[in-house]
Amino acid sequence: MVSPASPLPSTTEPKAPPQWLQPLLMLAPAGVWLALLLVLPTLLIFQLSLVPGIRPGQVVNPSGLDNYWRIVQPDYFPVLTRSLFFSIGTTIACLVLGFPIAYWIALKVPKRWQNLVLLAFVLPLWTSSLLRTYAWITILRPTGVLNSILGKVGMPPLDLLNREPAVLIGMTYSLLPYMVLILYAALEKLDRRLLEAAADLGANPAQTFWRVTVPQSLTGIAAGSLLVFITSMGDFVNPEILGGASSMTVARLIYNQFLGATQNWGFGSALSMVLILVVSIAIALLLKYGDRSAAGGV
Amino acid sequence: MNSTSNRPLSWPWLSLIAIGLFGFMYFPILVLAFYSFNDSKYSTGWKGFTWKWYVAFLNDSRILTALANSLIVAFFAVGIAAVVGTLMAVGLARYRFPGKQVYQGTAYLPLIIPDIAIAVATLVFLAAIAIPVSGGLIQLSLGTVISAHVVFCLSYVAIVVSTRINDLNPHLEEAALDLGATPTQAFMQVLLPELMPAIVSGCLLAFVLSLDDFLIASFTAGGGSSTLPMEIFSRIRTGVKPDINALSVVLILSTGFLFAIAEYLRYRSERKRFS
C-alpha cells in the first residue's frame, strides 16, 4: 500500500519544529491538570491527615499519627469494619447474581442479539444514581411497594429501610451492571468445545461448571469483584440515603468531617488516606495473585 | 438430573433467573414512573392519573437553575476533557519518555480512586490556594466544579480513545506523512476522523458521569451554585415528593435517548469498519 522508497522513521519526522515540542504539546496540558488537581491535592490531604483537630483556615502544623490512631479506637473502628462488610457483601451478591445473567447472555442468547440484551440489562446505569437509590426508598419504606405486595400475598411486612439490608440491596443494585459487563466479556470468550468435551468425557453439569467454566472465566471474576469492591468502598449515596443513622460508613464519616457538623479536616483526611490505602491493597492483591490482564480491564 | 444434557446449567431455570434479574433492574425505574402519575402526595395506592407533578417541577425555578448549572458544568468539563484527553491518549500511544509509567498510572488514577477521596482532596487544595490571599484567590463556584470534573472526564475520554488507537492501523498516519502531509495535517485529516467515534462515545460517557456526579460537585461548588444532583439530594433528605419522580422520568428518558445515539454511532462506525 505504502511506497517503501523512503525509510520510515516511525515516530518522529525531520520537519522544522524541534522533536520535543510535539510530545510536550500533547502531554503537557493533561499532565499539568492532573498534577495540579489530582497529585498535589492528594499530597495535601496526606499532610493534613497528620494534623489532629484541624478546622478550615487554621495553619497546617503536622504533629503525628493521632488521626490514624483515632480510626482504630472503639468509637470508629466499627465504621471501618462495617464498610468492609458492605463491600464484601455487595461483591458476593453481585457475583452470585451477575454470573447467571452474564452466562445466560454469553452462552444462551443467539449471537446477534447478545449486544442488545446486554445493553438492555445495563441501561439503568445511564440514569441518575441518586434517583435510582431514591426509588428504593419508595419500595422499601414500611408503607412502601414491597410491603403492600407482601401484604397482598399474606406475608408479614419487612422492615428493611434505614438498616443494613437496604444498603446492601441498594449497592448491589447500583453495581450489578458493572459486574455483568465484565463477566460477560470473560464468558463470551469461553471455548464452548471445552464444555462439550467435558460432557463427552463424562463430567456432570456441576463438574463441568466448577472445573471448566469457572477456571476459564477467573480473570473476569477477579476483575469484576475488584471493581465492585473498590466502588462500594467509596459509595456514599446508598448508605447515606438507605442506611439511616445506624449504617455509618467510612465515606459518610469523611463527608461529615468536611460538609457535616463535625468539621475536622485532619481526621477526614486521615480517613481518606485509609480509604485510598484499602483500595490500593485490593488492587495490589489482584496484581499479585490474579492475572495481570485482569487489572488492565478495570 | 438428566445425564444426557451437556449444559452445565439447564436452560429453563437459567432463563427464569435472567428474567427475574431483568425485573430487578427495571422494577425501581417502573416504580418511579408509576408514582410520577399518581394523584397523591404520600399514598402508596393509586389515586388517579395526573400530570401535575410534571407541571410542578417544570415551574420550579430551583430545579431548572440546578439543571442549567449541571449542563454548563458537563458541557465545559467534557469539552476541555475531549481535547486534553484525546491529545494525552495519542501522545501516550506515540511517544516513549522517562517517567511514562508514572504519567500513565496517574492519568488513569481517577478511574480507581473513590470519588469521595478525590472530592476531599480537591476541596483541601482549593481551600489551601484560596486562604493565603484573603478574600480568596479562587472562589468556589461552577468554575471550580468544572476544573474538578475535567480530571475524571479526561481519564474516561483517554481510556476509550486509547482502546481505539490500539485497534487502528499504525501505517495510516505514516502513509499520510510519506505522501507529503505535514504532521498537523496527518493528525487532523487522517488520525482524528478515525478516532472520532471513540472520542464521541468517550465524551458521552464522561457527560453522563459528570451530570450524575454528586460528591465532587458538592465539595467544590460552594454555597451559591448547586448542580442537579445536589438539589435532588437535598430534596431527598427533606422529604419525598412526586415532583422528584416526574423529574426522574424526564431524566431517564433523556439519558436513554443520549445512550441510544451513542450506541447508534458506535454501531455505525463498526459497520463501516467491517464492511
Domain membership of residue B36 (yes or no) is no
Is the Cβ–Cβ distance between B53 and B242 less than 8 Å?
Answer: yes
Per-residue confidence band for B236, with pLDDT thresholds at 50, 70 and 90: confident
Per-residue confidence band for A9, with pLDDT thresholds at 50, 70 and 90: very low
In terms of DSSP H, where are the helices of chain B?
Answer: 11-36, 52-58, 61-94, 100-107, 115-130, 142-167, 171-178, 183-186, 192-212, 215-220, 228-238, 242-274
Per-residue confidence band for B157, with pLDDT thresholds at 50, 70 and 90: very high
Average pLDDT over chain A, rounded to an integer: 85
Q: Identify the CATH number of the domain in which residue B214 sits.
A: 1.10.3720.10
Average pLDDT over chain B, rounded to an integer: 84
What's the confidence (pLDDT) of residue B262?
73
Domain membership of residue B1 (yes or no) is no
What is the spatial distance between Cα B215 and Cα A236, in angstroms, rounded to a whole number?
Answer: 8
Domain membership of residue B15 (yes or no) is no
Q: What is the CA radius of gyration of chain A?
A: 25
Q: Which domain holds residue A77?
A: 66-296
- Mean pLDDT, range B212-219, rounded to an integer: 93
Q: Do A104 and B177 touch (CB under 8 A)?
A: no
Q: Do A104 and B14 touch (CB under 8 A)?
A: yes
Q: Is the pLDDT of residue B185 over 70?
A: yes
Domain membership of residue A171 (yes or no) is yes
Number of domains in chain B: 1
Domain membership of residue A43 (yes or no) is no
Q: Do A26 and B87 touch (CB under 8 A)?
A: yes
Per-residue confidence band for A63, with pLDDT thresholds at 50, 70 and 90: confident
Q: How many Å lie between the alpha carbon of A68 and the closest alpha carbon of chain B?
A: 16
- Mean pLDDT, range A7-16, rounded to an integer: 49
Q: Is the pLDDT of residue B242 over 90?
A: no
Q: Is the pLDDT of residue B24 over 90?
A: yes
Domain membership of residue A110 (yes or no) is yes
**pLDDT tens-digit profile of A199-234?**
888 888 888 888 888 888 888 899 899 999 999 999
Domain membership of residue B121 (yes or no) is yes
Q: Which domain holds residue B255?
A: 51-274
Domain membership of residue B26 (yes or no) is no
Domain membership of residue B230 (yes or no) is yes
Domain membership of residue A17 (yes or no) is no
Q: Is the pLDDT of residue B74 over 80?
A: yes
Of A54-68, B100-114, B149-163, least confident by mean pLDDT is A54-68
Domain membership of residue A149 (yes or no) is yes
Number of domains in chain A: 1
Per-residue confidence band for A122, with pLDDT thresholds at 50, 70 and 90: confident
Q: Identify the CATH number of the domain in which residue A143 sits.
A: 1.10.3720.10
Q: Do B248 and A131 touch (CB under 8 A)?
A: yes
For A13, the closest chain B residue by CA position comes to B183
Domain membership of residue B14 (yes or no) is no
**Which range among A211-220, A231-240, B42-51, B173-182 has the greatest average pLDDT?**
A231-240
Of A81-85, B31-35, B254-258, least confident by mean pLDDT is B254-258
Nearest by CB to residue B116, choosing from A40, A234, A265, is A234
Nearest by CB to residue A38, choosing from B151, B212, B244, is B151
Domain membership of residue A197 (yes or no) is yes
Burial of B143 (0-12, 13-18, 19+ CB in 10 A): middle
Of A195-199, A220-224, B38-42, B133-137, least confident by mean pLDDT is B133-137
Is the Cβ–Cβ distance between B234 and B75 less than 8 Å?
Answer: no
Domain membership of residue B29 (yes or no) is no
**pLDDT tens-digit profile of A15-42?**
556 777 888 888 999 999 999 899 999 9
Q: Is the pLDDT of residue A291 over 70?
A: no
- Mean pLDDT, range A98-121, rounded to an integer: 89
Domain membership of residue A26 (yes or no) is no
